[in-house]
A and B are shown apart, each in its own frame.
Chain A
Amino acid sequence: GENVEQHPSTLSVQEGDSAVIKCTYSDSASNYFPWYKQELGKRPQLIIDIRSNVGEKKDQRIAVTLNKTAKHFSLHITETQPEDSAVYFCAARNAGNMLTFGGGTRLMVKP
């Protein structure tokens, strides 16, 4: 089955700096890669996603890149703000339509 590794597990940045979270996946048939943000005690919220037919996607301060050959994808957050503090999960969807999640990254943005 699919295996998704996510790094780092915790990330602390100063407000205004950039944050990068990286994930690798094992199943070359996976074709859809969403990122979710989860605040304490809340539901995971989709923040951006990318499909395997594109290499990069951007939405304001958030961008995701995908390298299919190397089987890794990354989340980039620029100009971080304290409200970006949360746990971020990457995921990969295989042909069976279910998501396999990474272990999560706790992002702390210090004012």
Chain B
Amino acid sequence: NAGVMQNPRHLVRRRGQEARLRCSPMKGHSHVYWYRQLPEEGLKFMVYLQKENIIDESGMPKERFSAEFPKEGPSILRIQQVVRGDSAAYFCASSLLAGDLDTQYFGPGTRLTVL
């Protein structure tokens, strides 16, 4: 049973370019969460999605950032017009359900470097 998959593992972009980060949840999991981790810091919640729905995006910057989890395919975190401050590790996690079956399992992360 494959765990949470993320790609690419490393992504380098120049300022002003777009970054697309992909997350495939564990098999059967319908809840996806994105977190950002700056160097030497903790994980900060960004957005929580279920299939075709954004449940909570309170941690995501209003501009340049968007997320989706389509009916088919992986969840995508999209960052437009990247700036150096976007350099971080972006982790997604998935859970089977909410409530008592809500244990979140993390993917390996995408390390974004903005030059």
Contacts and interface: CB of A to CB of B under 8 A. Distances in A.
Interface of A: 1, 6, 32, 34, 36, 42-46, 49, 51, 89, 93, 96-104
Nearest to A97: B98
Nearest to A2: B45
A42 B108 contact: yes
Interface of B: 31, 33, 35, 41-45, 48, 55-56, 58-59, 91, 98, 100, 102-109
B45 A51 contact: no
- Dominant secondary structure of chain A at its interface with chain B: strand
Given A43-B91, A99-B33, A101-B45, 17 more contacts: A6-B42, A42-B108, A43-B108, A44-B91, A45-B106, A51-B100, A93-B102, A96-B56, A97-B55, A97-B102, A98-B48, A98-B56, A99-B35, A99-B43, A99-B104, A101-B43, A103-B41
A2 B41 CA distance: 18
B56 A104 contact: no
Contact of A97 (B31, B44, B91): B31
A57 to B, nearest CB: 13
12 contacts: A6-B42, A36-B106, A43-B107, A44-B91, A46-B104, A46-B105, A51-B100, A97-B48, A97-B55, A98-B56, A99-B33, A99-B35
A74 B43 CA distance: 19
